[in-house]
Amino acid sequence: MGSYEISPEQAVDSAIRVVKEGRVQGVKLEGGMEMAPTIERIVRAGIPVVGHVGLTPQRQNTLGGFRVQGKTTLGALKVLEDAMAVQEAGCFAVVLEAVPSEVAGIITKKLRIPTIGIGAGNGCSGQVLVQVDMSGNFPPGRFLPKFVKQYGDVWSESMRAISNYKTEVKSRAYPAPEHTYPMPEKELHEFDNLINSKPA
């Protein structure tokens, strides 16, 4: 947030910096028609861009919160127009987030570039989920969007591992001999004699 929204010039500068310092091969920008001029400038600078339309989390406050986009005829048309605009601006792919499955499927067929769905049904060209969400690496009670399927419970497993570690450290079961570096018996004996023979 704040690295590309002010002006196309700022966006190009930020994109170049991210490519150079972050050693990435492209950038992703949220926004539709209003971001098309910015996308064009970044692409002209030789940096590949992925678009992101529908629910745009960085702008969710202007959308009324984390809400599904494109549920009405006009809303669906807006998502399509945004997707077409970022395609024409030079994006090589576009993320469709929190869009009805049917709408995402139609948009995917209308575009020449691949769509990546997140909460947009299985009619997109590909799918993405946030790793923390899909792996269950968060504390109990955290809000999860409807589209998230949790494939694991990394948080609970991590808590179990930390608890076991704490127990073994307190009982001195860890570190065990196999987790330490041994010293040859002769060297240990010499070391012990050396330090114990010196006056305190």
> In CATH, what is the architecture of 8-128?
Alpha-Beta Barrel (3.20)
- Structure confidence at residue 100 (pLDDT): 98
The question of whether 5 is a catalytic residue gets the answer no
What are the extents of the domains in the chain? 8-128, 130-200
Which residue in 25, 140, 139 sits closest to 93, CA to CA?
25
- Structure confidence at residue 148 (pLDDT): 94
Cα–Cα dist 69/63, whole Å: 9
What tokens appear for 140 in the block? 């109990």
pTM of the predicted model, to two decimals? Answer: 0.82
* Active-site residue, selected from the candidate residues 21, 88, 97, 178: 97
- Rounded to the nearest 5 degrees, what angle is found at the Cα of 60, between the Cα atoms of 54 and 65? 105
- Structure confidence at residue 66 (pLDDT): 66
Task: Provide CB contacts within 8 A for 44, sequence distance 6+.
Answer: 90
pLDDT digits (tens, 9 = 90+) for 68-108: 999 999 999 999 999 999 999 999 999 999 999 999 999 99
Cα–Cα dist 2/4, whole Å: 6
Burial 44-70 (b: 16+ CB within 10 A, else e): eeebbbbbbbbbbeeeeeeeeeeebbb
- Structure confidence at residue 67 (pLDDT): 83
Cα–Cα dist 164/170, whole Å: 10
- Structure confidence at residue 185 (pLDDT): 94
Handedness of CA 79, 82, 88, 91 (dihedral sign): negative
Give residue 9's identity as a one-letter amino acid code. E
Strand pairing partners for 93? 50
Block means of pLDDT (10 residues each) for the chain, length 200 residues? 72 89 94 95 96 83 70 98 98 98 98 98 97 94 92 96 98 95 94 83
- Structure confidence at residue 59 (pLDDT): 56
